[in-house]
Amino acid sequence: MATLPSAGLRESAPLNRANAPPITMSAAFTADAHHGAAYPDVILSSSDNVYFYVVHAVLQRASTNSFGGLLPIKSVSPLVLPLARVSDSADVLNIILHAIYDMSPARFTPSPTTLIAALERLPAYGLAITQYATPPRPLYHAMLMQAPLAPLAVYTAAARYGLEDLAVAMSPHLLSLSLSSVTDEQAEAMGAVYLGRLFLLHKKRMDALRDVLAAEPYPHPETPDCSFVDQKAVARAWQLASAYLVSKGRPDLHPLAIQSTVNSLAAKVTCKHCKEVLRRRLQKAVVEWMIILV
Residue 132: inside a domain = no
Residue 94: inside a domain = yes
pLDDT score at 32: 87
Chosen domain end from 81, 101, 121: 101
State the DSSP code for 50: E
pLDDT score at 1: 30
pLDDT score at 12: 45
CB 43 within 8 A of CB 81: yes
Average pLDDT over residues 258-279: 88
**Considering only 44-48, 77-81, 140-144, 194-198, which range has the smallest mean pLDDT?**
77-81
Average pLDDT over residues 187-202: 95
Chosen domain end from 67, 101, 135: 101
Q: Domain limits at 4?
A: 1-101
pLDDT value at 182 more than 70: yes
Domain count, the chain: 2
Cis peptide preceding 21, ω within 30 of 0: no
Average pLDDT over residues 128-145: 96
How far are the Cα atoms of 88, 137, 243, 246 from residue 67, in angstroms, in the given order? Answer: 13, 20, 59, 53
Residue 57: inside a domain = yes
To the nearest 10 degrees (0 to 180), the angle between helices 272-293 and 232-248 is 20
pLDDT score at 253: 92
pLDDT value at 91 more than 50: yes
| Rounded-to-integer distance, Cα 253 and Cα 239, Å | 18
Helix (H) or strand (E) holding 53: strand 50-54
- The CATH number given to whatever domain includes residue 2 is 3.30.710
Chosen domain end from 101, 134, 154: 101
pLDDT value at 153 more than 90: yes
pLDDT score at 4: 38
